[in-house]
Amino acid sequence: MMKYVSLFSGAGGMDLGADRAGWECVAQVEKDKNCQRVLAHHWPDVPKWGDIADVDGTELPPADAVIFGSPCQDLSVAGRRAGIHGEASSLFFQAIRVIREMQDAGNAPIWVVWENVAGALSSHQGQDFAIVLHEMADAGALVLEWAVLDARWFGVPQRRRRIFLIACFDPGAAERCPDPLLPVAESLPGHLGEGDAPGQVVAALTANGVGAGGGPDDNAGHLIPTLTTRCGNTQDDQQTAQLVPFVKAKRAQTDTDDETWAEAGPDRPAPTLNAMDNGSESRATVVSVHLTQDPITSTEALSTGSASGAAMVGVATEMAVRRLTPRECERLMGWPDDHTLVTNPRNKPMADGPRYRMCGNGVASPVMTWVAEQINNATATI
């Protein structure tokens, strides 16, 4: 059984995914008090640490893997783009420090999985992601592979594109692990087919030229720091999730920001949950519209499309716009119902605000399950 240490655990979305793949959590690091209560409720026997800056990696239990999604605020295209050295996102380097300390204690992990927003690839014209690759390679990673995975292809009706980077630190595993580690369909946009040439590569921006893979327009890449380079493709290889008739075309980023609506369809699922999906300022909403095949002329009617292409009509008499409930947000993340509904220090149920924030900042568990399963497959062949 793969044992793992979880850094920046949040409400445990990444941990849920790893557990479903048969992994066992041996340590969790999370400073947020509300998240700590959720973790204590669902993983009561797992040792806990608070602020990662106070964690001594030599004191962590032995583990085969380290998984973490370091803060994304400075890398997100919705943020100020301060980059990997920004106040929040620079905590990535604390994770690297912990990994190095584990190695110094003779407890070197074989695998590391890093999750973050897709904007990490373009931050500072790719230089920030090059730094991530450099740091992993300098810490001893022998193979690095990444892909931008969208949660909507893993059974949840939410467009949530996140980069997942896998690093392999064991020489034997690195020599025999499959290429690619993250298998994706070759017939989809972004795949480098015969006659195609890779674009300018992110890792080529690194000062020492550790390798190259995954250009600005690519969503996946494979890097062997001391050997060769292989580029990959996008991951869109599963069926479209079920959608509501109308969804937001643009999500609010502040409590005063506007939002727009558009017809739902295979190419327009519900937008990504974000940190604004909380409390009284929440802009997270769904629309319920009763559809009929009968033509009507009411000015209150809304037109939409059916799967067969026939015209459908939404009758506005039973139309309602409301905020998503915390339970619905948990379902959008692939978490169990009421995963974040634990008691606070006053023995009262967790308020909705923190629950919204935990979902908005979390990891969609089904994606992590798939990533962990690919590592399982690679380990089985070694």
Across 201-227, average pLDDT: 41
Per-residue confidence band for 76, with pLDDT thresholds at 50, 70 and 90: confident
Continuous H helices in the chain: 13-20, 33-42, 92-104, 127-138, 171-176, 326-332, 352-360, 365-380
CA–CA separation, 52 and 59 (whole Å): 13
Whole-Å CA distances, 327 to 2, 59, 339, 352: 30, 36, 8, 10
Q: 75 vs 192, which has greater pLDDT?
A: 75
Across 107-136, average pLDDT: 93
Q: What DSSP state is assigned to residue 122?
A: T
Residue 20 in tokens: 């479903």
Would you tell me which CATH number, out of the four given (1.20.1560.10, 3.40.190.10, 3.40.50.150, 3.40.50.10490), belongs to the domain 3-237+363-380? 3.40.50.150
For the chain, domain boundaries: 3-237+363-380, 246-360
Whether the pLDDT of residue 223 is over 90: the answer is: no
Across 38-54, average pLDDT: 97
CA angle, corner 217, sides to 366 and 79, nearest 5?
70
Across 223-236, average pLDDT: 38
Phi, psi at 98, each rounded to 5° = -60, -40
Whole-Å CA distances, 178 to 168, 299, 376: 12, 58, 11
Per-residue confidence band for 92, with pLDDT thresholds at 50, 70 and 90: very high
Whose CA is closest to 149, among 175, 121, 179, 177?
121
Whole-Å CA distances, 24 to 19, 300, 364: 6, 54, 18
Whether the pLDDT of residue 279 is over 50: the answer is: no
Across 252-272, average pLDDT: 60
Per-residue confidence band for 214, with pLDDT thresholds at 50, 70 and 90: very low
> How high is the pLDDT of residue 53?
96
Mean pLDDT taken over the chain:
76
Cite the active site residues.
72
Q: 75 vs 8, which has greater pLDDT?
A: 8
Mean pLDDT lowest among 155-159, 241-245, 345-349, 374-378: 241-245
Whether the pLDDT of residue 215 is over 60: the answer is: no
> 173-186 b/e with 16+ CB inside 10 Å = b?
bbeebeebbbebee
> How high is the pLDDT of residue 177?
85
Phi, psi at 139, each rounded to 5° = -80, -5
> How high is the pLDDT of residue 188?
37
> How high is the pLDDT of residue 146?
94
Across 130-154, average pLDDT: 94
Across 13-26, average pLDDT: 98
Whether the pLDDT of residue 228 is over 50: the answer is: no
> How high is the pLDDT of residue 82?
87
Whether the pLDDT of residue 293 is over 70: the answer is: no
Give the pairing type, strands 229-231 and 246-250: unpaired
